[in-house]
Amino acid sequence: MAATHHFDVNTLFSMKGHVCVVTGGGTGIGLMAAQALSANGAKVYITGRRVEALENAAKTHHPNEKGGSIIPIGPCDVTKKSDLQSLVEDLQKKEKYINLLFCNAGVGGPKAEPEHDNADDLKKKLWDNESVEEWNSTYSTDVTSVYFTTVAFLPLLQAGIEPNGPLPRFGASVITTSSMSGLMRHAQGHFSYNAAKAATVHLTKLMSAEFQRTWIRVNSIAPGYFPSEMTDKNNASNDKQKSELPQEKIEATGHVPAMRGGTEEEMGMTVLYLAKNQYVNGQIIAVDGGVLNVVGS
């Protein structure tokens, strides 16, 4: 039975001794996750395609005195099985197991607003501004890579569970980054992205159900508007690998009840919750400021 001191936040959300891997960890939500995990004691490996971004993120954002660390590894293009296999092999040389895999790498895809009432005009807008290749690339990065990244790391994740590792059953977990966009009917001009994120949502549920026999949990965070290279007006990060989310962008949508974007700390809270709560499995946690309350889902 739990004594009151067991509910201390430093006990509930301590990541000391945990080994984590974050894809797309050099910027945006991936970096927020790496900061939250390492600040609470975890050793966090961040990977992605841009080595310079990874190295700068690790150098710039030092965890506090709780003993965590952010370590760049890669490069890795998660759409390539050969890169994923090399990443796993590199990790196996350094670690006997991992406790958390955060499949966060993703792209935004093409944009074409379905704003016309006339079918001929609507066809032209969508037909001319999107390509099959762009659709396939979006799906490959946002969905297919999530599946193969998870599959590649299953043995390392299972190795972190008792009796082989420090955590009890269901102690190892996968978090995917989906999106509120995969839960709504409004296309936002991003048909390919929204469709891909909807597929990520369902893939998360499939993997959760099918992989639970390995005692590995799979959950997803469905973010709303958070600062990232996707939401930054310049589509870029600053010298600390951070991005801006202009307030006017939030106001222009007209559908964010919170009237602001999400904070990096709020994303970190969600990551820690899913990483530590071993009784949560197969869930899609929307962190969207109430958008799905007012936009059809």
pLDDT tens digits, residue range 2-34?
A: 899 999 999 999 999 999 999 999 999 999 999
| Close Cβ partners of 155 (under 8 Å, ≥ 6 residues apart) | none
Contact 96, 158 (CB under 8 A): no
pLDDT score, position 239: 81
In a domain, 196, yes or no: yes
Among 197, 208, 225, 237, the one annotated catalytic: 197
Give the Cα separation of 215 and 147 in Å (integer): 17
In a domain, 174, yes or no: yes
Among 38, 178, 179, 181, the one annotated catalytic: 178
For CA atoms 199, 202, 208, 213, the dihedral sign is negative
**Following DSSP, what letter does each residue of 202-248 receive, concatenated?**
HHHHHHHHHHGGGTEEEEEEEE-S--STTTSTTS---TTS-----HH
For this structure, is 205 an active site residue? Answer: no
For this structure, is 193 an active site residue? Answer: yes
**CA-only gyration radius of the chain, Å:** 19
CATH number for 112:
3.40.50.720
The one-character DSSP state at 225 is S
pLDDT score, position 291: 97
In a domain, 6, yes or no: no
- The reported pTM is 0.94
The two structure tokens encoding residue 10: 């430093």
**Would you tell me how many other CB atoms lie within 10 Å of the CB of residue 195?**
19
- Note down the domain range covering 245: 15-294
Nearest of 244, 138, 245 to residue 197 by alpha carbon: 138
In a domain, 4, yes or no: no
Find the Cα–Cα–Cα–Cα dihedral 218, 219, 221, 222, rounded to 10°: 110
Contact 183, 297 (CB under 8 A): yes
Contact 232, 242 (CB under 8 A): no
In a domain, 235, yes or no: yes
Q: What angle do CA 219, 222, 228 make, to 5 degrees?
A: 120
pLDDT score, position 285: 98
Nearest of 167, 151, 16 to residue 88 by alpha carbon: 151
Find the Cα–Cα–Cα–Cα dihedral 131, 134, 137, 142, rounded to 10°: -120
Number of compact structural domains in the chain: 1
pLDDT score, position 101: 98
In a domain, 176, yes or no: yes
In a domain, 2, yes or no: no
The two structure tokens encoding residue 254: 């007209």
In a domain, 3, yes or no: no
Residues (pLDDT < 70) of the chain are: 66, 163-168, 232-235
The two structure tokens encoding residue 148: 């193969």
Among 193, 208, 228, 237, the one annotated catalytic: 193
Give the Cα separation of 180 and 72 in Å (integer): 29
pLDDT score, position 67: 79
Give the Cα separation of 76 and 87 in Å (integer): 7
pLDDT score, position 9: 94
Give the Cα separation of 279 and 215 in Å (integer): 12
